Structure 1
Amino acid sequence: MTISSSLKKTIIASTLIATSLFSCSEVEDAINDIITPEIPTTYTFEHVNYSGQTARIQMLDSLERYIKSGNDGVTKLSTSDMNAIYTNESGDLFGSSKDVESKTANDTDLKVNVYGKIPTYFISAADASGNQDNINGGRLFNVNGHEPAQMVAKGLMGATLYYQSVSNYLTNEKLDGADNETVEEGEGTAMEHYWDEGFGYFGAATDYADNTEAKNWYWAKYAKSRADVYDVSGDIFNAFIAGRVAIASKDYEERNKQRDIIIAKWEELVAINVIHYLNSLATDTEVGDQMHHWSEALAFAWCLQYNSSKVISSSEISNIIDLLGDSVNDVSSDDITAVKAALKSTYGFSDEVVNNL
């Protein structure tokens, strides 16, 4: 990370004034002492707390696993049980009073409002469960051929995790209005804490870059999964670290630069997952696999909506969702090609990347 030019000039000028009575060599030594803050390789700082974000991620994971318990064709799912996890009805899931539902974006102007979809998927999952006729390829599907576990998990990855980070905690509105002077024990300044909460929703271990055995959740996990073809994992993780250092240094120009990297690369992460699952769909020969990969591709396409600074236009997202239809039977090979071409054009992906995701 580099100190912004204006801040660096001010520091150097002040140093020159303060050392004007010293020799030239001493002045040069003083200037050389103005070093760039050291950037750690792990997300480890003195005062950090994103436990609420981690708890919500664990709740989402618990909800997904509960719905997947219906994959046996015997277990009967309960809408009340699903809702209890989603809303943290008990108030103490994973030792937290936080919940997923209240942090899920509810925007009825979107092409697909995931918040409104969640209850319907709870109902359809419950209705389809406990019946072997609704199991295909070892997975539970509702009457329309949607896989509720995927629609809920990926839908909330966008409407909750992605949205809260890039369209809330990392925005100028949130960060610029936050105090960056008063340190609260265990949390840092308000601005540092907001940044940490944004990081928490990414789901990465503190030693994400180097520890291949670490537990990573959702977006961080998917970034690693696609890294052999298109790697944004390091860009996002390192930018979160560098931005946190910049906040501590009160270098807001650098903070914003790193924030912009996070938002841009995370949006690309969403797009490459749409392409990945469409590539799988294009080669699937079993109906269960086709419905599974179609469900994932569609739900990741919904995620594209939840970045307030997105590169892709809302009309293009709408077109993509329309092309993917309401069931796998609505999608032709031409539709798959058109969606991939649109994402390739928008994000500048190479043919090699698109073909190998």
Structure 2
Amino acid sequence: MIRNHLLTLSLLILTGIFFTSCEKEPQNPAYEVPATYNFENVDYSGQTDRLGMLYELQAEIKKVASENKSLDKSQLLAMYTNDPDLAGWQGNYSESKQLKNKTFPAYQNIFTEILEDAADKSQNIQPATEGQAGVISNNTGDRSYYVNENGLEYAQFVAKGLMGALLYYQATAHYLGDEKINVDNTEVTPGKGTAMEHHWDESFGYWGVPTDFPLNTDGLHFWGAYTKGRSGHLGISQPLMDAYIKGRAAISAGDLSTRDEARKEIKTLWEKVAASSAIHYMNGSHTDYDDIGARLHQLSEGVGFIFALQFNDQRSANQDEIFDLIEKLGGSTNIEDLNLYQTSPEAILEVRDWLADRFDLEEKKEEL
């Protein structure tokens, strides 16, 4: 099972592995905190490239349902590893950037296998039924989804899975982890700032919001869009933006205690976005339970957000608990073996209620 096979590596990477000392900071430094993410020497172009690559990868898989298109396995894998000769990118991305090598190491091959499976089973496109991969529509017929033989929607799990195993992991456990944040904060590289400033900026880049978010909501990507989507109920957009701005200003001023306060806030708030989004899709799949296509679509998204919860090194649920929820929904801890056709309405509500209790969302669980 994935859980047993990967637990040791996951724990090594995500818990207790960083032993670096903090630089001495000045006492009570005075500095200005701007209203937007407006600082000198900021560069997160690599993160912007990966957001674009993930968008194109998801869009390509969706073409099976929207255009009745068979997928080219070589192209999908080239999009994951950024082989520009085969990927067929619409955007202009740096050849040094890719999705695979920034994915949580233990899951890189899992995503490769899912992409290969999606390509193989698209060669003979049929109506999807339990035991048969293919395309299934919702009851109104206005939306269609490409799912595997067990009802997992390929495009949604690839997108949500990599939102967790790449974007969320890199932004929280990696760039805001001790090893990457306790680095040089004196030598300035023009256009990038100090090493500490640059790592903070790279974390911000994975969030996928403009520098004047939430006042400006144009061009939101992935986690940025879901932050806005949950903010109506949780009021989370401004506090998360404030934490990023406060922490970046504190780094430039050498105020490391405020920096650490901000990075804890970011990890807590971002986790709230993931958990509340999982609850949102549990509610949706329960409401649409009798609409099999819509149910499978929303369960696939919900499973992706639950899967994502493991990648925050400050996480509120351990890996066993996370995979127990996935198993409750699909009967397996192996993503590729989940059977979402067999998910019961009772299991959906049980998972929702567990998430609401663990992540302090009880009062919001029915409205999310």
Normalization by structure 2: what TM-score? 0.83
For 1:62-73, what aligned pairs fall within 5 Å after superposition? 62-72=56-66
What is the SS of the residue equivalent to 2:261?
helix
> For 2:35, what is the secondary structure of its paired residue?
coil
Q: Does 1:116 align with 2:94?
A: no
Q: Secondary structure at the match of 1:304?
A: helix
1:236 maps to 2:240: yes
Aligned mates of 2:27, 2:111 — CA distance in 1: 47
Residue 172 of structure 1: aligned partner: 178
> Residue type matched to 2:27 in 1?
L
> Is the Cα–Cα contact under 8 Å of residues 73 and 131 in structure 1 kept in the other structure?
no
The answer to whether the Cα contact below 8 Å between 1:41 and 1:209 also exists between their aligned partners in 2 is no
State the shift of 1:116 in Å. Answer: 3.0
Contact 1:124 1:148 in 2 (8 A): no
* AA in 2 matched with 1:96: S
* SS of equivalent residue, structure 2 residue 231: coil
> Is residue 2:117 matched to residue 1:105?
no
Q: Cα gap change, 1:334/1:6 in structure 2, threshold over 3 Å: closer, same or farther?
A: farther
Secondary structure, counterpart of 1:278 in structure 2: helix
The superposition leaves residues 266-287 of structure 1 with CA deviations (integer Å, 9 ceiling, x where unpaired) of: 1111111111001000011311
* Deviation (angstroms), 1:350: 2.9
Alignment length (residue pairs): 318
Task: Give the 3-state SS of the residue equivalent to 2:301 in structure 1.
Answer: helix
Aligned partner of 1:46: which letter?
A: E
Q: CA deviation at 1:300?
A: 1.1
Which residue of structure 2 aligns with residue 28 of structure 1? none
Paired position in structure 2 for 1:321? 326
Identity of aligned residues (%): 37
Query: Following the alignment from structure 2 to structure 1, what is the Cα–Cα distance between the partners of residues 146 and 348?
Result: 24
RMSD over aligned Cα atoms? 1.8
Which residue is 1:159 aligned to?
165
> Is 1:333–2:338 an aligned residue pair?
no
The answer (yes or no) to whether the contact 1:203–1:220 under 8 Å persists in 2 is yes
Matched to 1:7, the amino acid is: Q
Equivalence for 1:342? 354
Deviation at 1:205?
0.9
- In structure 1, runs of 5+ residues without a counterpart are 12-35, 108-112
1:128, 1:141 within 8 Å by CA — same for their partners in 2?
no
Query: Which of the pair has the greater relative contact order for Cα pairs under 8 Å at 6+ separation?
Result: 2
Q: State the partner residue of 2:27.
A: 7
Range with bigger deviation, 73-82 or 268-277: 73-82
Describe the SS at the equivalent of 1:136.
strand
Give 1:132 deviation, angstroms. Answer: 4.2
Q: Does 1:277 align with 2:289?
A: no
The structure with more radius of gyration: 1
CA contact (8 A) 2:104 2:169 kept: yes
Following the alignment from structure 2 to structure 1, what is the Cα–Cα distance between the partners of residues 190 and 112?
A: 39
1:290-309 to structure 2, matched below 5 A, reads: 290-309=295-314
Q: Distance in 2 between matches of 1:37 and 1:242?
A: 10
**What is the CA-CA distance between 1:73 and the residue it aligns to?**
5.6
Tell whether the 8 Å contact from 2:26 to 2:254 is kept in structure 1 after alignment: no
The ranges of structure 1 where at least 4 consecutive aligned residues each deviate by more than 3 angstroms after the TM superposition are none
1:144 maps to 150
Residue in 2 that maps onto 1:15: none
Residues 278, 306 of structure 2: 8 Å contact kept: yes
Cα offset, 1:71, TM superposition: 1.1
1:228 Cα shift? 1.3
Q: Which stretches in structure 2 are left out of the alignment for 5+ residues?
A: 1-24, 128-133, 138-143, 331-337
Look up the equivalent residue of 1:347 and give its one-letter code.
Answer: F
> Partner of 1:127 in structure 2?
120
* Structure 1 contact 278–293 (Cα < 8 Å) conserved: yes
